[in-house]
A = this chain, B = another copy of it.
């Protein structure tokens, strides 16, 4: 964990005048009984104008002679001061389709070249708390291609990401092992692992 471990210094309330990336809003609405109510929530300020979505999650399978492996990341996340196990992901740039975002972000964060073959609908991360949302884009990475032999990430100055892979069938077991080692688990990834276990248990 040493290469990606950052060190927490302090946390303080953020003055909205000073905030550049996030904001709090209040929504007024009328409930089904006609009563006027309000609700506090948080938003990203980075969603491109006209876009219904903030970003993408990337389910990238590395397909080689010995089968398919799921590409995962370890990344320090300041909001929780932990290194998180998560899917590659990223925010949409103006004018991009979600598939273009997914291919670009995979290349930047991991160095691999993938091809999109499926995209989910929009999913909301915590819709009682915030409007944060994403499309899950499924990418196939052909490991026989020369450009995928020696992948080189192109990270931004403030990005410190370590990639690794797990066999999809062992996702839950691997996440539980990593959690015991002190890593935090992203909910989208953890829920996919839960779904795989549910399907195994109910023998679908």
A121 interface hit (Cβ, 8 Å): yes
Interface membership of A25, Cβ < 8 A? yes
Complex interface: chain B residues within 8 A of A128 (CB): 77, 79, 89
Q: Is A202 at the interface (CB under 8 A from chain B)?
A: yes
Across the interface, do B192 and A124 meet the contact criterion of CB distance under 8 Å? Answer: no
Specify the chain B residue showing the minimal Cβ separation from A37.
B158
Q: Tell me the minimal C-beta distance from A168 to chain B in angstroms.
A: 6
Count the copies. 2
A105 in contact (CB, < 8 A): no
A42 part of interface (Cβ distance < 8 Å)? yes
Q: Is A96 an interface residue (CB 8 A)?
A: no
Task: Report the bound CA distance from A36 to B6 in whole Å.
Answer: 10
A189 to B126, CA, bound (A): 11
CB contact under 8 A between A23 and B13, given known A192-B194, A196-B204: yes
